[in-house]
Structure 1
Amino acid sequence: MLFGKEHVQRYQETDGAEGHDWNNTTTLLLTTKGRKSGKAYTTPLIYQQHGRDHIVVASKGGDPDHPDWYKNLQADPEVGVQVKADRFRARARTATDEERPELWRLMAATWPDYDNYQQKTDRKIPIVVLESITT
């Protein structure tokens, strides 16, 4: 089972042949710019496609604090995304209250633990919409 730095490395080396399919779900790689360091950080995240957008959840396992990658994209919403061999730039935004119920159902169907994570924390777990930036 891969996750963390080894997951990222194998995903990048194999264009997602290893790492995209993980634990009966699918993952993408999200690259954000550190809000303090300015360094690039790549995180494997469970995702689903919704129309042309990719959806991820800033759950951090139900931790009371947001994950660092989410804090980074709040500071700089332009991110890098890799889905299998497809690499592209995207603009990240938090789903609106109107979008949230549908997107939460989509993501909880993909990874049922999201419902458990939400019950563990008082924070409203953000759903992030990754909108491809076409040049």
Structure 2
Amino acid sequence: MEEEIVDSPDQWVAQHIRRFVETGGQARPGMNDLLLTTRGRRTGKLRRTALLYARDGDRYILAASDSGADRHPAWYLNLVAEPGAVVQVGAETFAVVTRTATAEEKPRLWRLMVDMMPAYQEYQETTGRDIPVVIAERAV
């Protein structure tokens, strides 16, 4: 029996996940969208959310912005607790290993994210926390 995946409680994100699945990953053509499935650090349940990503070679780069909220998003905290996750890009699904970008790596990777979506800079200016950048690499 396949384990149940719980989609984001945010209504807009949950609708976006449904469109992503229904369209084989083409919910918003021209946008770098992916689905990220993590294991809940407290519940142990599989949790799925939709995120924008940038590419850095073979790596997928994510910003844990939570739209500038003063707390880290649950998906990021789940990855800190368990760095293994599953990503769906387009119709392809694969396992990844994640980590938070180091202080040396972050400026260049953050610029990739802001260049793709300038609102990330506004999110950083809105919150008192430093928005983490996550690097996801295919698991071998």
In the superposition, the TM-score normalised over structure 2's length comes to 0.88
> In the alignment, which residue of structure 2 is the partner of 1:89?
95
Distance 1:52 1:77 in 2: 17
Instruction: Give the match for residue 104 of structure 2.
Output: 98
> Aligned residues: percent identity?
44
Match of 1:43 among 29, 46, 49: 49
Instruction: Please provide the CA RMSD for this pair.
Output: 1.4
The 2-side partners of 1:14 and 1:61 are apart by 25
Task: Report if aligned partners of 1:59, 1:125 keep a CA contact under 8 Å in 2.
Answer: yes
Q: One-letter code of the match for 1:49? A: R
Q: Which runs of 5+ in 2 are unaligned?
A: 1-10
2:24 aligned with 1:15, yes or no? yes
1:59 aligns with 2:91: no
In structure 1, the gaps of 5 or more residues are none
Q: Distance in 2 between matches of 1:99 and 1:13?
A: 35
C-alpha separation in 2, matches of 1:6 and 1:61: 17
SS of residue in 2 equivalent to 1:9? helix
Return the TM-score normalized by structure 1: 0.91
Choose the corresponding residue for 1:111, options 94, 98, 117. 117
Structure 2 residue matching 1:103: 3-state secondary structure? helix
Paired residues, what number? 130
Superposed structure 1 runs of 4+ greater than 3 Å apart: none
1:34 matched to 2:40: yes
Give yes or no for the alignment of 1:69 onto 2:110. Answer: no
